[in-house]
Amino acid sequence: MRQKKTAGPDKRPVTVEDHKELNRIHIARKTTAVSDTLRFPGGEQFDDDLAEIFASDAEANGEIAAVALIDCDKFDHINRDFGADEGDRILIEAGRYIQGSLPEGAKVYRIGGDEFAILFRGSMEREEIFLYLNGLKDGYAVKAPDGVRQTITIGMATAFEDASRAPELIRKADSALFRAKASGGNRVALAKEEKMVPKTSHYTQDQLHRLSRAAKQEGIGEAILLREALDMLLKKYDV
């Protein structure tokens, strides 16, 4: 009598974690396809270049430095309705369009799936940068396969004026981008003073003690550190 075969280790059921890993690999491959075409520096280089500005004598020398975060509106719709290849095409066209209109002293980065960043450094005034970004938004003419013209949304923040640290400047630009997206997109938003709420008591004594030490060590306020940490958490969960 023939024995019934048993499932080997390679025959185990596919788990949720397996699906997540396959999706991560797929996204990485698609990200590489766009990155290999555009060859833009990424988020790590963006952070390093921005940190270098704050560590330099740029402010004392009267240099203007600003960041603009650029998001492709309703990009999920492109991937969902037309496929990932069309999504890649739009990202490549968007990147080439941004790069092709950069003013002197500006540099473009790809910092996320459908998000780009521009770092401005030089003599351009804040108002000039804002007007340039509005022109960039208005001139964006990338179209979906059905012929519908796509749009971009931009959040901008200025170094030394809106923030005194690189993470805070990125947070201010990201907050401006979020406000612009929440208002319907296809617009440019500037960083502004945010409404603050008191720190709650949902922390342990040890956490508060370590927070105080970190603030003293960095020479900045506890609230700034908390906002930076919260922004990192929100980005981790993509909200």
Looking at the fold, whether 136 and 223 belong to one and the same domain comes out as: no
pLDDT of residue 2: 44
Residue 149 bridge partners (DSSP):
143
Mean pLDDT over residues 47-67, rounded? 95
Domain CATH number, residue 164: 3.30.70.270
Residue 17 lies in a domain: no
pLDDT of residue 204: 74
Mean pLDDT over residues 35-55, rounded? 93
The pLDDT of residue 1 is above 80: no
Residue 11 lies in a domain: no
Looking at the fold, whether 184 and 226 belong to one and the same domain comes out as: no
**Alpha carbon distances (Å) from 235 to 149, 174, 178, 182, 184:** 28, 10, 12, 16, 20
pLDDT of residue 197: 55
pLDDT of residue 191: 93
Dihedral-angle region of residue 223 (phi above 0 means left; psi in -120 to 50 means alpha; beta otherwise): alpha
Domain that holds residue 180: 32-194
Indicate the pLDDT class of residue 233, thresholds 50, 70 and 90: confident
pLDDT of residue 22: 55
Indicate the average pLDDT of the chain.
Answer: 84
Residue 233 lies in a domain: yes
The answer to whether 129 and 66 are in contact (CB under 8 A) is yes
The pLDDT of residue 42 is above 50: yes
pLDDT of residue 184: 94
pLDDT of residue 239: 67
The answer to whether 91 and 102 are in contact (CB under 8 A) is no
Tokens of 139: 């001139």
Looking at the fold, whether 183 and 214 belong to one and the same domain comes out as: no
Looking at the fold, whether 160 and 206 belong to one and the same domain comes out as: no
Looking at the fold, whether 237 and 123 belong to one and the same domain comes out as: no
- In the 3-class helix/strand/coil scheme, how is 125-192 assigned residue by residue? CHHHHHHHHHHHHHHCCCECCCCCECCEEEEEEEECCCECCHHHHHHHHHHHHHHHHHCCCCCEEECC
pLDDT of residue 117: 97
What angle separates helix 205-218 from helix 222-236, to the nearest 10 degrees? Answer: 110
pLDDT of residue 218: 77
What digits encode the pLDDT tens for the residues 151-178?
Answer: 999 999 999 999 999 999 999 999 999 9
- Return the amino acid letter for 177: L
Looking at the fold, whether 150 and 167 belong to one and the same domain comes out as: yes
pLDDT of residue 9: 47
Residue 24 lies in a domain: no
Question: Would you say how long the chain is, in residues?
Answer: 239
- Return the amino acid letter for 231: D
pLDDT of residue 6: 45
Stated pTM of the model: 0.72
Report the number of distinct structural domains present in the chain.
Answer: 2
Give CA–CA dist 79/56, Å, rounded.
41
